[in-house]
Structure 1
């Protein structure tokens, strides 16, 4: 039997913290928070770390559902490439959240894993995970405490161990002994578990994932990949984005947003990625004029002009010739006191 777990994160920009959670079922879940961070992807890695740490001795195949394409790519593909490259990238840049990803990788040793983006089949668990992550963020902001949840119950673990003991390991690789002294609900990774590897150049023939969160890559890699100009990429992506908004396709709207997306609404209040997708599905933009401005080789701004508001969207290059929304700000036009 395959274990299916959903992870999510919720960002509070005003408090500079992110709540995270994982949900296996209604009785087995956990949540926590990350301080001094606005990274949704980092928080989701914390959620995954929390779960695999509690369940790494189980032999059941594991399927993880995440809202982050970056997290899915790291766990499914890039961590294996980075491990073969001694946890370095082709362009010499360090792996983001290296200590966290390496510990997740160690707990997953010898285990069958599939990582997918959340779809309609997991909406119930996804909603539950979103609520727990949001409550963790607000609870810590308001009173400094978080209901960490029941975790993985002993009864559930015993049931899974009994079932999995009758099955062979899915891989010839044996589970490695991992120190079990790392807290899974704290804000910062303990210093004694950090490992800062020196950055050294690698052979050109090796492969690696993107240079940073969202796959921006370096200038050298960009030239080698013959990347399209960012304005061309963003114009194409923006047309797709407007189409998804017009058809109220929340899943596609959300997938076109970067894992670290943040919106500033009309009242100056930060709005999360999930809430922004819901608002766009209910009230899609209908700009009378669109302007695209290049901010750099990997970023561009799209400005929507209409009769009562101006919307500024920041796009960043994602996986070479794609782009993802990373920021939105809405500015209301002042009323014309003369009625003209």
Structure 2
């Protein structure tokens, strides 16, 4: 038997609130995160937690789907050379994310596994499901609310299935959010976490040259953050969670739907909880700053019934971006 699972990570701001997730099916997945981390850390942690969650079935082949070539190449190509050099790169500098890599090296010993690269945000069902859950965990840390941790892997050792402490080591440089999600499945950053926030040109070149994507800048522009939140809100895992939609929707939210119906916030949250629908793919057309506290996002959404042109107005409510108005118009 082969266990096929997708593993993915997300970081809002990169670095910023970060999440990770692995996904086999709706009854077998797990997610968690940290108050501050990077996309690469999330990707690595997703693979590490998957290995730990399946440690009780070491004889099963493990097929791991990743959209990060950095993670795949780190584990399958570069790790042996790094180990021979004392976990240092060719230029003598310490390897980035070394504690996570060392943990992965230990967990991989004796396991039968293969890695397969899949293109991210391209409609791959398992990848999209893992991405959605990782982004939900990252957004939960950003907003200071609880995230779903998932059912875990059947028969996993209780220690592997239990949520770990959300407290990062004292060496971590970023402050925790005002309210730490109490029920989120999280894993503390390994020792030396302070080193993770130091720019590393070599690792960045590895991502760029291999096409894995460079991620958002350290201080994400409001336009980029709003786009990330919009994609989060379009995922059924979030749409079906009234606690999450209550955070993302402004108290005065209003929507003019594609049918012409006008929705108020409470009615919309209840409707989404009853029928969250399927994941929606989008094509961003424009993202425009309006003053210092509003962003107007225009995009095209794709569904079986056709395409819809949509406009969302996100406003800064205190220290949170929240959706104030949305309108959808079926495209001719």
TM-score norm. by structure 1 comes to 0.51
1:176-195 to 2 correspondences below 5 Å = 186=166, 188=168, 194=191
2:46 maps to what in 1?
Answer: 47
Q: 1:66–1:116: 8 Å Cα contact kept in structure 2?
A: yes
Question: Kindly tell me: are residues 107 and 122 of structure 1, through their superposed partners in 2, closer, same or farther at Cα, counting changes over 3 Å?
Answer: farther
Could you tell me how far 1:22 is from its partner in structure 2? 0.6
Assess, with a 3 A threshold, how the Cα gap between structure 1 residues 261 and 76 changes in structure 2: closer, same or farther: farther
State the distance in 1 between where 2:14 and 2:86 align. Answer: 37
Structure 1 CA distance, aligned partners of 2:170 and 2:6? 25
In 2, Cα distance between equivalents of 1:110 and 1:272 = 38
Query: For residue 80 of structure 1, what is the aligned residue in structure 2?
Result: 80
- Map of 1:33 onto structure 2: 33
Distance 1:268 1:211, change over 3 A: closer
Compared with structure 1, are the counterparts of its residues 181 and 257 closer, same or farther at alpha carbon in structure 2 (3 Å cutoff)? closer
Pairs within 5 Å for 1:61-210: 61-119=61-119, 123-154=124-155, 186=166, 188=168, 194=191
Q: What pairs with 1:262-273 in structure 2 (closer than 5 Å)?
A: 267=223, 269=225, 271-272=227-228
Matches within 5 A, 1:172-321: 186=166, 188=168, 194=191, 212-215=202-205, 256=211, 258-261=213-216, 267=223, 269=225, 271-272=227-228
1:44 match: secondary structure: helix
What SS class does the counterpart of residue 64 from structure 1 fall into?
Answer: strand
How far 1:86 moved relative to its partner? 2.7
TM-score, normalised by the number of residues in structure 2 = 0.52
Unaligned runs of 5+ in 2: 172-188, 194-199, 232-280, 287-332
Shift of 1:215: 3.6
Question: What is the CA–CA distance in structure 1 between the aligned matches of 2:91 and 2:69, rounded to whole Å?
Answer: 22
- Output the CA distance in 2 between the equivalents of 1:149 and 1:103: 22
Give distance in 2, aligned partners of 1:152 and 1:142.
27
CA distances 1:177-228 after superposition (whole Å, capped 9, x unpaired): xx989975746369896379xxxxxxxxxxxxx97323469xxxxxxxxxxx
What is the distance in 2 between the residues matched to 1:8 and 1:48? Answer: 8
For the aligned residue pairs, the C-alpha RMSD in angstroms reads 4.2
Question: Does the 8 A contact of 1:41 with 1:71 survive in 2?
Answer: yes
* Deviations, residues 224-245 of structure 1 (Å, cap 9, x unaligned): xxxxxxxxxx9xx9xxxxxxxx
Question: Using the alignment, how far apart are the partners of 2:201 and 2:225 within structure 1?
Answer: 31
Paired residues, what number?
A: 210
Change over 3 Å in CA distance of 1:128–1:104 after alignment to 2 = same
